[in-house]
Structure 1
Amino acid sequence: MEWIFGLCLGVGLSACCGFRVFVPLLVASLATKFGWVAMTPGFEWMGTWTAFFVLATATLLEVGAYYIPWLDNALDTIAMPLAFAAGTLLTTSFVDVDIPLLKWGLGIIAGGGTASLIQTGTSMLRLGSTATTGGLGNPVVASTENVLSFGLSFLAILLPVLTVILVIGLLIFIGRLIATRGLRTKKARINGAGTTMRNNLN
């Protein structure tokens, strides 16, 4: 049952990678350094001071960059693979099973998949903000993401099971959002094709 607790912890932190890639890594490093949580063998390096300072620097740069106009949307193009990698790493580092294929499989599917889906949702939100406010609303989006990333990361350390429940609700919401947007895009294409055909007939 201990591995299930580790999976909940890893998935909770991985979800936060969808908001900010380095924040949950930094929180996990800090928690490991002070003995709040324990990494599985092979991942103890995340609890070193070197890892902490590197991740702290990366976090400051990432958080600050999302307040720079145009750069925030540009960062979203590289955030997806980084979030997937970070989510995979975090979940794998906490799942204490002796079968490498299962360990990394859970990391990739549960951790990387969760981080990627949430990152997709935040990118859509930022694009919508850019389109409707000309980018003026993007700092609000960035601040909300920062709060969620830090808040959920610490909550995952303290109450991992509760965090996973919240993450599942968030994933359902984002899944519906993506499906709705896809349906609207499909309808728009059909309507556009119909209009073009009528124009050609006329």
Structure 2
Amino acid sequence: MSYQPAARSFDTASNPFDGVVAGQILDDEVRAFAPSLKDILARAERSIGGDLDATRALLARANAMIAEAVETQGGTREVSLGGLAPWQAKRVSAHINAHLGDTIPVSHLAQLVTLSAGHFSRAFKQTFGDTPHGHVMRRRVETAKAMMLKSAEPLSQIAYLCGFADQAHFSRTFRKLAGATPLAWRRAHYGRA
């Protein structure tokens, strides 16, 4: 693999950017400013080695252009560069929800959407705002809360059904995320649903 200067590598990628990538991630309205955005990103790529402040300013300008385009569209769609594609996010969420009581390795989630574990973890955090493990723990606590509101099952059984290693793990995680122990939270909320 040989090194190509940034400007040259960007120029060789310009045709696929215009036809494939832009068509996938940018709406028709946003595509209208793609040439300007392409120019800004090319300049940022050229300046990254020498002038970090200029690079930051150019990337901020590109980000502002994208944000303005999203606002113009009514803010109904969020443009997320570097995150999971909508179909990937949907598939991962469905798998997590279906297997919440099981061990869910990051490598398995990455395989579901054909990404490496490292790339998947970065894209997951970009999309969901949390690490895969943190997201799964939050989903487990949410599910446990719903179960505690609807039934009088023992907390140890709820911990098991939600995929926690044991009741102590459940209590630590629950307290960290909900601000109270499961027993205290249940006493304060049971019967309100």
Tell me if TM exceeds 0.5.
no
**Shorter chain as normaliser: what TM range?**
under 0.3
Q: Could you state the TM-score of these two structures normalised by the residue count of structure 1?
A: 0.25
Q: Which has the higher helix share?
A: 1
Q: Could you state the TM-score of these two structures normalised by the residue count of structure 2?
A: 0.26
Tell me: higher relative CO, structure 1 or 2? Use CA pairs within 8 A at least 6 residues apart: 1
